[in-house]
Chain A
């Protein structure tokens, strides 16, 4: 085992309480940073994947010719994301409405001398294609076809979801950066304490001809170890917290069932912790003057 590794490990052990505290504090910081990042990832996913059984209604103009209608239908059938297309004539729409109102209110519709309802296509989309961007593109292309009056797909709903997701993303990323900086700072202050405690020893090393890196190396290793285990603890906490969350709140809201903490994110925590630890240690020691 190399001298620096030995020194780092024995120093870690000698100051185990300070180091444990530093490690756990870094873990908390990294845990919260991971949650912030998970929020960003999940909000983006929710915004891009629309609710299942999402449908789109294409309203036809009153003067749409049968040729127009056939062309629209063909276009829809040929489109990959489209699962099923149902044509609803204006007569059928009126009949549906009557049925919906029931006998009690059917008088409301009496006295209409012409049918005011528009014919439409009810379009169901395949689940795997239900993405905000593709729905928007489909709607836009349908709108340009002759005979189409309007396309209704809950634009307001989609826009709101996207706006919310955007806001969550930005806030989450800012929080993530802040918390990561916090983890670096915790390591910085812990290593600074160790560094001051050993300042006499460091002075001796320098008088014996040690270079700056010889002096720094054990501290860098200590920072790396502290960050690594902090990250490991944070990763474990992520899994635990998420299980609790899903079995509690998550199950109640269907929208949340496809939330997840990406495994890659959890796996990255120890690495991120290690880098944060080394960065903190480097800043703490700074330039070692001979």
Chain B
């Protein structure tokens, strides 16, 4: 589903990813971890093509996105649900509208949008906040709105960047259970996190990005 082949990426001449290779199989739930500034968010941006690599190839669902046509980029992104580390909620729209946006962009009709958004909000425990504006929500609530927006369209791939960063352990565990459920229904999920509790003893694949001089080397670990 996701395959990086010798990918390199630098910002203004500062190498962040150097000759990085890894792959996530279809239907997997995998973790991406490493210290702050290691390049986790950068990897996710490369996947949804907000950034392009300087060298190497990236395959998403078998397609090499380094040669993607401009007009195909929206379709690539519609196959992905993204939990942004910086949320990216529209502050002028209600919780309902923020989540509905993912479906409006995909052209669903109003009745189905309403049903699916409410169902998803219930899943993340925010049904009663559907008419609130994001600024009236706590950080953890905002994060759950972002998660709802990422999963509401039932994408085949979900990228979650620090999805439990603002959540207490209990709510975090609840969100993790939702991800596991969605994964069990067939979606591929890649979660970038520092939160060891999420992947420890999970039995899932963990990609660790080493920091400092070894930047770019990925260590594959199996944990049980």
Contact = CB atoms under 8 A, between A and B. Distances in A.
A211 interface: yes
Contacts of B122: none
B107 to A, nearest CB: 9
Interface string B87-115: 01010100000000110111000000000
Contacts of B84: 207
A209 B92 contact: no
B205 interface: no
Contact of A207 (B71, B77, B92, B106): B77
Given A204-B90, A208-B101, A289 B77 contact: no
A95 interface: no
Contacts, number: 44
Interface in B155-187: none
A14 to B, nearest CB: 7
A214 interface: yes
B74 A201 contact: no
B48 A214 contact: no
A208 B48 CA distance: 10
A205 interface: yes
A86 B90 CA distance: 86
A210 interface: yes
Nearest to A287: B70
Contacts of A207: 48, 50, 77, 82, 84, 88
Given A14-B92, A207-B82, A209-B78, A214 B73 contact: no
Nearest to A6: B97
Contact of A204 (B74, B75, B76, B88): B88
The secondary structure that dominates the B interface is helix
Nearest to B155: A209
A289 B70 contact: yes
A290 interface: yes
A209 B82 CA distance: 10
A289 B88 CA distance: 19
Contacts of A206: 74, 77
Interface in A269-290: 289-290
Nearest to A7: B93
B50 A205 contact: no
A130 to B, nearest CB: 63
Contacts of B48: 207
Given A204-B90, A207-B88, A290 B74 contact: yes
A81 B77 CA distance: 75
Interface string B37-60: 000000000001110000000000
A205 B75 contact: no
A208 B77 contact: yes
A3 interface: yes
B15 to A, nearest CB: 25
Contacts of B73: 290
A217 to B, nearest CB: 11
Contacts of A290: 49, 70-71, 73-74, 77
A7 to B, nearest CB: 9
Given A14-B92, A201-B90, A208 B70 contact: no
A146 B69 CA distance: 82
Interface string A202-231: 011111111100100000000000000000
A209 B88 contact: no
Given A203-B88, A207-B82, A290-B74, 5 more contacts: A201-B92, A206-B77, A208-B82, A209-B75, A209-B106
The 8 A-B pairs at the shortest CB distance, nearest first, are namely A290-B73, A209-B77, A209-B78, A204-B88, A210-B105, A209-B74, A211-B74, A3-B104
6 contacts: A10-B92, A205-B105, A206-B77, A207-B50, A207-B88, A290-B77
Interface of B: 48-50, 70-71, 73-78, 80, 82, 84, 88, 90, 92, 101-102, 104-106, 149
